[in-house]
Structures are given as structure tokens and as C-alpha cells.
């Protein structure tokens, strides 16, 4: 399993054929299990990927349960579920980052799910110990660098990004962003709080510019020559080969950028998840649990992960071919609940060193 053998392997088994097969199966399933109008599941989701349409229709075809959804940012959805209280129609909260799922749990919005199937399929490090939430795909927060300006051996660990030798080179997004908080949560676990604070101070001292924009903007900064090295989630780079991303549009832009999975000789690349949890007042709780269990099935895993070029978490699930280009790597096996538990301290540390 992934957690016990934290070396991710890209596979090219995913193929165009799966779409044709799924469409044919869908037609048969529609006759076998006609949808009952009264069975629904209401998703509050921060996802909005093309492959998700297949995910929802396949679930309806298999179960007869209609999928309703409200899409918004994770923080807007958390605020909405809170405001709706006991009358909330939300059955499931779906978002990215274990830190965000943990925050929803802290607000008392999630209800534990005890599912033998999910416990078997989803490695322990990628789910909440009581079942408040489960991860269904993984992303790695890794290091990108300007091949012309920076030697890879100078930037192949998270720690080194804070070394004075990288002064004026480092680009990140702002420290209040959940990805940065979760990364700091992991650094606190690995280095201890004191050393993690020195790391944050060094990272800030090495900045090439004030933090601004999202992960894509840090990669664009390398392409434009502003940044020598940047932290970003792996899929922001991968998607530049699939979508038209301004600033990363030309092969000259992306070919400038080197990709490093950090800390391959120590704890491995920082991982996070996309995942989901059942809400505390879910009016259709049973259907919500069915949806979670469906997400652990091979076809759902393929759709769910492919939407954002992420790594499926259930062993044996197909992966998008563009991930194969990244090769294999050692991943951090830290239980992701730690990212949430350390979230407040992570923000305090960034604030103390003046990291904006
Ligand atoms: Fe993202």
C-alpha cells in the first residue's frame, strides 16, 4: 500500500478507452437501475473539474441517487454550512487540503463515518482517525527552479530554500494560504517548532519578491526570470502541458523550469489530499456515505484524481499519463491530521517572522 511503500509510481495504464467503456456501461446501468427521484445527495464542493461530471453521472447510474451540488470556495462553503445550521441541506463537504477539512471539523461541521470499506481502501495517513474526513487523491508540494540560474543540488530540500546561499531567489504564495500553513505544519513535525521558525525566517529573507498570487504565479515567475526557485503543488506545473495557461503557454517557458521532489534522502516530498467528509446535520447521511464509498472505487478514483492531475490513493487505480513524466518519488508519510493540529502554530510562526 501507498503508506507503507511511500514511493509513488506513475503508470500509463489510463487510456482514452475508459471513456468509451464507461459510456456504454452507463447506458446499460440506466435501464437496470432507473433513478428514483426521491433519492438525493447534496454536495458542497470547492471542486470544478471537467471529469467530475462523469463522476456524478456514474454515481447516479450505479445507485439511482441524484447528485445536487453547490460549488464555492472552501471557506465560503464552511461559512454557509455554519450559517445554515441544523437546516443545512449539505450532506458532504468536498475540498482540497487536509488543513481545510480539519478546519471544518474544528467548526463542528463534520460527522464521523465508520466504514470498513473506506478504512480498508484509504491508507491511514490520508484519513481522519475517527472518520471525520477521508482523502481520495494526493498532491505533492514540491520545488521548481530556473535551470539556467540555479543548480538543483542547491535547492533539493525544503530546508535549503532557507539557506543564505539562495538569497533573493525564492518565490512563494502568502503564508496565510492553506497550502503554506499545511507545509509549515509538516515542517514543525519534522524540525520542531524552534527550528521551523528559523526556517520560516530564512525563507522570508531569501524572497525574490513579496508573496503574491497563487502557485501558478510562482511558476510564471520562474518563466519570466523573476524567481530562481519556487514552491508549488505538482499539478500547477503538469496542467500547463494540458491547458492553455498564460505565462506558461510556450514550450520555452516550461522548458526553463526544473522539477524537484524534495527531501528524497530524508522524509520525502510533502503530500496533501483532496478529500471529503459527511456533514453533521446531513439530511441524506446514508447516501453521503455511499458517495464516499463510491469515491474509493476504481473508476471514481480515476475520474477524481484526473480532474486535477492528482495521484489516486486507492491501490491499483489508474493515473493520468502526464504524471508518468514526473517519475517516481519518495513521499512524506506523516499522518495528515498533524497538518491541522499544527495549523494555528504554523500561522503564529509565520507571523512572528513577519512572513506576509
Ligand atoms: Fe490548488
Rounded mean pLDDT for each run of 10 residues along the chain, 356 residues in total: 36 28 36 62 94 95 97 97 98 98 97 98 98 98 98 98 98 98 98 98 98 96 97 93 82 90 98 98 98 97 94 92 86 98 98 98
Q: How far is the CA of 99 from the centre of ligand 1 (A)?
A: 13
Q: How far is the CA of 216 from the centre of ligand 1 (A)?
A: 9
Q: How far is the CA of 190 from the centre of ligand 1 (A)?
A: 23
Q: How far is the CA of 234 from the centre of ligand 1 (A)?
A: 9
Cβ neighbors of 11 (< 8 A, separation 6 or more) are 318, 319, 324
Q: How far is the CA of 292 from the centre of ligand 1 (A)?
A: 21
Q: How far is the CA of 233 from the centre of ligand 1 (A)?
A: 7
Tell me the per-residue pLDDT of 71-80, one tens digit each, with 9 for 90 and over: 999 999 999 9
Predicted local distance difference test score (pLDDT) of residue 5: 32
Cβ neighbors of 230 (< 8 A, separation 6 or more) are 143, 144, 145, 170, 171, 172, 218, 219, 221, 222
Q: How far is the CA of 215 from the centre of ligand 1 (A)?
A: 7
Q: How far is the CA of 270 from the centre of ligand 1 (A)?
A: 14
Q: What separation in angstroms does the CA of 319 have from each of 55, 62, 304, 309? A: 15, 22, 10, 8
Predicted local distance difference test score (pLDDT) of residue 242: 78
Tell me the per-residue pLDDT of 216-262, one tens digit each, with 9 for 90 and over: 999 999 999 999 999 999 999 998 877 788 888 888 888 999 999 99
Three-class DSSP category at 11? coil
Specify whether the CB–CB gap between 120 and 280 falls below 8 A: no
> What's this model's pTM, rounded to 2 decimal places?
0.89
190 secondary structure, DSSP code: H
Q: How far is the CA of 249 from the centre of ligand 1 (A)?
A: 19
Q: How far is the CA of 262 from the centre of ligand 1 (A)?
A: 19
Q: How far is the CA of 188 from the centre of ligand 1 (A)?
A: 22
Predicted local distance difference test score (pLDDT) of residue 63: 98
Q: How far is the CA of 138 from the centre of ligand 1 (A)?
A: 11
Three-class DSSP category at 327? coil
Specify whether the CB–CB gap between 326 and 339 falls below 8 A: no
Predicted local distance difference test score (pLDDT) of residue 284: 98
Taking alpha carbons only, the member of 349, 348, 141 closest to residue 260 is 141
Tell me the per-residue pLDDT of 28-37, one tens digit each, with 9 for 90 and over: 343 444 445 5
Q: Which residue matches cell numbers 539556467?
A: 148
The rounded mean pLDDT for the chain is 90
Q: How far is the CA of 90 from the centre of ligand 1 (A)?
A: 23
Q: How far is the CA of 136 from the centre of ligand 1 (A)?
A: 15
Predicted local distance difference test score (pLDDT) of residue 36: 53
Q: Which domains does the chain have, with CATH numbers?
A: 7-138+272-331 (3.40.190.10), 139-269+339-352 (3.40.190.10)
Amino acid at each position: 500500500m501507498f503508506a507503507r511503500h511511500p514511493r509513488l509510481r506513475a503508470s500509463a495504464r489510463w487510456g482514452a478507452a475508459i471513456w468509451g467503456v464507461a459510456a456504454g456501461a452507463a447506458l446499460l446501468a440506466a435501464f437496470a437501475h432507473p433513478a428514483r427521484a426521491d433519492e438525493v445527495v447534496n454536495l458542497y464542493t470547492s471542486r470544478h473539474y471537467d471529469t467530475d461530471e462523469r463522476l456524478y453521472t456514474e454515481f447516479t447510474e450505479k445507485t439511482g441517487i441524484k447528485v445536487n451540488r453547490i460549488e464555492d470556495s472552501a471557506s465560503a462553503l464552511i461559512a454557509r454550512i455554519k450559517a445554515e445550521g441544523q437546516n443545512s441541506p449539505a450532506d458532504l463537504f468536498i475540498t482540497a487540503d487536509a488543513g481545510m477539512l480539519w478546519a471544518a471539523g474544528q467548526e463542528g461541521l463534520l460527522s464521523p463515518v465508520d466504514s470498513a470499506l473506506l478504512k480498508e481502501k484509504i491508507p491511514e495517513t490520508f484519513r481522519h482517525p475517527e472518520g471525520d474526513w477521508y482523502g481520495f487523491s494526493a498532491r505533492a508540494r514540491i520545488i521548481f527552479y530556473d535551470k539556467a540560474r540555479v543548480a538543483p543540488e542547491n535547492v533539493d530540500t525544503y530546508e535549503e530554500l532557507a539557506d543564505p546561499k539562495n538569497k533573493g531567489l525564492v518565490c512563494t504564495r502568502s503564508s496565510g494560504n492553506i497550502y503554506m500553513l499545511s507545509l509549515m505544519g509538516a515542517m514543525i513535525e519534522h524540525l520542531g517548532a524552534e527550528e521551523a521558525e528559523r526556517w520560516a525566517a530564512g525563507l522570508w529573507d531569501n524572497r525574490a519578491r513579496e508573496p503574491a498570487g497563487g502557485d501558478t504565479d510562482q511558476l510564471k515567475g520562474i518563466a519570466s526570470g523573476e524567481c530562481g526557485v519556487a514552491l508549488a503543488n505538482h499539478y500547477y506545473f503538469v496542467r500547463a502541458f494540458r491547458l492553455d495557461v498564460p505565462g506558461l503557454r510556450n514550450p520555452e517557458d516550461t522548458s526553463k523550469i526544473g522539477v524537484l521532489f524534495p527531501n528524497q534522502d530524508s522524509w520525502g516530498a510533502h503530500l496533501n489530499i483532496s478529500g471529503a467528509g459527511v456533514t453533521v446535520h446531513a439530511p441524506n447521511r446514508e447516501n453521503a456515505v455511499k458517495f464516499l464509498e463510491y469515491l474509493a472505487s476504481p473508476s471514481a478514483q480515476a475520474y477524481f484524481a484526473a480532474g486535477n492531475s492528482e495521484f489516486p490513493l486507492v491501490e491499483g487505480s489508474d493515473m493520468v499519463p502526464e504524471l508518468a513524466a514526473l517519475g517516481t518519488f519518495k513521499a512524506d508519510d506523516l499522518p495528515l491530521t498533524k497538518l491541522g493540529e499544527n495549523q494555528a502554530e504554523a500561522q503564529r510562526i509565520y507571523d512572528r517572522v513577519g512572513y506576509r
